[in-house]
Chains A and B, each alone.
Chain A
């Protein structure tokens, strides 16, 4: 199982801050989440930052990034500040 952490506006959609999902890749994980929480897809279509163990999938293998048991996936809608 992969631990998934969601943040900011996603928490209102999911109703909690953490959940566990079985998936082999980030793409598969997102499909499972979108099936369960359709509003999440709409929210992330505007952009998203997805980290696997703190590393951005943009600099790994994007949606093909492999997942294994115990990995932590952090999902953020577009955020900014400073």
Chain B
């Protein structure tokens, strides 16, 4: 199989059994790889109703056909499992170098099953796969764990994906860190890893990805790299300022969520922008495998030394939504999240909800004891509670459950700015209606990378859509973005390529790599299939669209108080029915039999 290694590595931590299986070509053709194919395998292999922390849940490390190739940004992989945060499908994407190395070792997928009776790690050197004791690493932070494992492994070229203390303690938004600072960040995939007593996966491979038409592939790739380098976003703003270049534009547009989304304008945004980060803390860029963009930041702050990031989302989550303007504190907080293995978005989102609950008198100081008061703008809170959350100590134990469970425990779930219990990212949908629909319908809950409508609604790429329009045209773009994103995620590429490339470009690269002769529309159809199989997983896990495809009440009932979007609420009730219809789902949001037959998915539902 070209583009694929053709193998699935299956490791059962309960029995110690390790086996290698063939990857089926028909599966690859239908679900591409990565996010899509891993969801299909998970749906077939587990009961979607299973407790995410039980040994019956599985953890799938999944690459795509372009992972490990020279395709621009071909360094991505996904971690797919059932989420302990949402109770629905989790598929977290990460860059760096771990995904390609897994392929070089000969595997498209690593499926981890069961639960070890003591801390272990999985060691992979091509065909030599072992489950090894990790007792000496339990409790260690990400940096130290990575260094020790590389030393033990005896090959500095190996790559490590591991959890920090947060994953071990089953924090519901713990992530998996690879290459120390790259995160499979969302939905608590690190907590599932911790529930299996799996501290890390170390991998080193010596193989190459075989391509269907090497010459054609090289020529197509060269052309796409040129497009990316010539594009002003991927060749200009992103390399120069990183993802944080967004801070100012989102704030100026009035949708930079501040004080737990109570407003969309932060008067200190300038001080935490990409421009400020570049001037004060940037050391150099750090591209992932095969990336011509290089948005990754290597930063320095005396308190933490050389570190990476912070990214746009992290600056916001550990900044504006907590009312914190001090960029130095944000750099330190971001480093701590990386070291403890915490998702920065959910960490900031949960703290912001706690701050609002505290300032409204719902959380009392007596509960916090000697801990610092949970006031907006208090950067001391950040550093203190990041550690407490990761270790589940004191009030950190309540915060470790995420904003929804926290707010609900006080009888006020409305203060959790989440969808399907997952904290929302850095865009207030009262300033971008289409983006609001992607939040409400995202299969993995509150999320900005399952159809990034900010691109057409705010950045004007690839078309300029009015952010407040709720027409069928807007709903159509939501569907296109969601399906195309599913193709890119499943291929093993980074979503940032989509600022410069279109659906035709991805189809060309995929065909040259795999030898499939799909049209662009057929690849998009595969993306639609991926979207629908995720939906099926969620429905079987207990999703009720009428209840779960929605937004926090704040966006639907509280008009934006200031700025360019003053007076606006999200008109979800107007646009959601149009979206459902375009998806071929019924008026309540359930896929119709006809649509599932068209996609060949009727046997799954």
A residues neighboring B (CB under 8 Å): 5, 7-9, 11, 17, 46-47, 49, 51, 53-56, 58-59, 74, 76-82
Chain A residues near B565: list those with CB within 8 A: 54
* Smallest CB-CB A-B distances: 10 pairs: A54-B564, A81-B243, A80-B233, A46-B232, A78-B232, A79-B237, A81-B246, A74-B252, A80-B499, A58-B464
Q: Across the interface, name the chain B residue whose C-beta is closest to A58.
A: B464
Chain A residues near B129: list those with CB within 8 A: none
Assess the B245–A79 pair: CB atoms within 8 A. yes
Assess the A76–B232 pair: CB atoms within 8 A. no
Q: How near does chain A come to B99, taking the closest CB pair, in angstroms?
A: 19
Q: Does B88 contact A (CB under 8 A)?
A: no
22 contacts between A and B (CB under 8 A): A5-B252, A7-B248, A8-B241, A46-B236, A47-B232, A54-B564, A54-B565, A56-B253, A56-B458, A56-B460, A59-B464, A59-B467, A74-B248, A76-B252, A77-B232, A78-B233, A79-B237, A79-B246, A80-B496, A81-B243, A81-B246, A81-B295
Given known A8-B245, A9-B236, contact A80–B455 (CB-CB < 8 A) = yes
Chain A residues near B246: list those with CB within 8 A: 79-82
Q: Does B242 contact A (CB under 8 A)?
A: yes
Q: How near does chain A come to B411, taking the closest CB pair, in angstroms?
A: 34
Q: How near does chain A come to B500, taking the closest CB pair, in angstroms?
A: 9
B residues neighboring A (CB under 8 Å): 231-234, 236-238, 240-246, 248-249, 252-254, 270, 273-275, 295, 311-313, 448-449, 452, 454-455, 458-461, 464, 466-467, 495-496, 499, 563-565
With beta carbons under 8 angstroms apart, the residue of A17, A51, A53, A59 that contacts B466 is: A59
With beta carbons under 8 angstroms apart, the residue of B232, B238, B270, B275 that contacts A81 is: B238
Chain B residues near A58: list those with CB within 8 A: 460, 464, 466
Q: How near does chain B come to A6, taking the closest CB pair, in angstroms?
A: 10
Q: How near does chain B come to A12, taking the closest CB pair, in angstroms?
A: 9
- Most A CB contacts (10 A, CB to CB) among B464, B563, B565 go to B464
Chain A residues near B495: list those with CB within 8 A: 82
Q: How near does chain A come to B235, taking the closest CB pair, in angstroms?
A: 9
Bound form: Cα–Cα A57–B103 in Å? 47
Q: Across the interface, name the chain B residue whose C-beta is closest to A59.
A: B466
Q: How near does chain B come to A53, taking the closest CB pair, in angstroms?
A: 6
Bound form: Cα–Cα A59–B464 in Å? 9
Additional pairs, 18, CB under 8 Å, beyond known A7-B252, A56-B464, A80-B234: A9-B236, A9-B240, A47-B460, A49-B460, A54-B563, A56-B458, A58-B460, A59-B466, A77-B232, A78-B237, A78-B459, A79-B233, A79-B237, A80-B238, A80-B245, A80-B246, A81-B237, A82-B448
Q: Across the interface, name the chain B residue whose C-beta is closest to A74.
A: B252
Chain A residues near B460: list those with CB within 8 A: 47, 49, 56, 58, 78
Q: Across the interface, name the chain B residue whose C-beta is closest to A80.
A: B233
Chain B residues near A17: list those with CB within 8 A: 270, 275
Given known A79-B233, A80-B459, contact A54–B241 (CB-CB < 8 A) = no
Q: How near does chain B come to A48, taking the closest CB pair, in angstroms?
A: 9
Assess the A54–B252 pair: CB atoms within 8 A. yes
Assess the A51–B252 pair: CB atoms within 8 A. yes
Q: How near does chain A come to B121, taking the closest CB pair, in angstroms?
A: 32
With beta carbons under 8 angstroms apart, the residue of B236, B243, B295, B454 that contacts A78 is: B236
The dominant DSSP class at the A interface is loop
With beta carbons under 8 angstroms apart, the residue of B231, B240, B312, B464 that contacts A82 is: B312
Q: Across the interface, name the chain A residue whose C-beta is closest to B459.
A: A80
Given known A47-B232, A54-B564, A79-B233, contact A8–B253 (CB-CB < 8 A) = no
Assess the A9–B237 pair: CB atoms within 8 A. yes
Bound form: Cα–Cα A54–B458 in Å? 11
Q: Across the interface, name the chain A residue whose C-beta is closest to B265.
A: A54
Given known A7-B249, A81-B243, contact A49–B466 (CB-CB < 8 A) = no
Bound form: Cα–Cα A59–B432 in Å? 13
Assess the B459–A8 pair: CB atoms within 8 A. no
Bound form: Cα–Cα A46–B455 in Å? 16
Assess the B249–A79 pair: CB atoms within 8 A. yes
Assess the B242–A81 pair: CB atoms within 8 A. yes
- Most B CB contacts (10 A, CB to CB) among A5, A7, A55, A80 go to A80
Given known A5-B252, A7-B275, contact A81–B244 (CB-CB < 8 A) = yes
Q: How near does chain A come to B543, taking the closest CB pair, in angstroms?
A: 25
Chain B residues near A81: list those with CB within 8 A: 237-238, 242-246, 274, 295, 311-312, 496
Chain A residues near B240: list those with CB within 8 A: 8-9
With beta carbons under 8 angstroms apart, the residue of A11, A54, A77, A80 that contacts B461 is: A80
Q: How near does chain A come to B593, taking the closest CB pair, in angstroms?
A: 36
Assess the B449–A82 pair: CB atoms within 8 A. yes
- Most B CB contacts (10 A, CB to CB) among A5, A9, A77, A81 go to A81
Q: How near does chain A come to B232, taking the closest CB pair, in angstroms?
A: 4
Assess the B248–A54 pair: CB atoms within 8 A. no
Bound form: Cα–Cα A17–B274 in Å? 13
Bound form: Cα–Cα A49–B467 in Å? 13
Bound form: Cα–Cα A11–B496 in Å? 24
Bound form: Cα–Cα A78–B565 in Å? 22
Assess the B243–A54 pair: CB atoms within 8 A. no
Chain A residues near B466: list those with CB within 8 A: 58-59
Chain A residues near B459: list those with CB within 8 A: 49, 78-80
Chain B residues near A53: list those with CB within 8 A: 564
Q: Across the interface, name the chain A residue whose C-beta is closest to B449.
A: A82
Chain B residues near A56: list those with CB within 8 A: 253, 458, 460, 464, 467
Chain A residues near B273: list those with CB within 8 A: 7
Chain B residues near A77: list those with CB within 8 A: 232, 236-237
Chain B residues near A74: list those with CB within 8 A: 248-249, 252
Bound form: Cα–Cα A54–B232 in Å? 22
Bound form: Cα–Cα A81–B239 in Å? 10
Chain A residues near B563: list those with CB within 8 A: 54
Bound form: Cα–Cα A78–B241 in Å? 12
Q: How near does chain B come to A65, taking the closest CB pair, in angstroms?
A: 14
Bound form: Cα–Cα A79–B295 in Å? 12
Chain A residues near B244: list those with CB within 8 A: 81
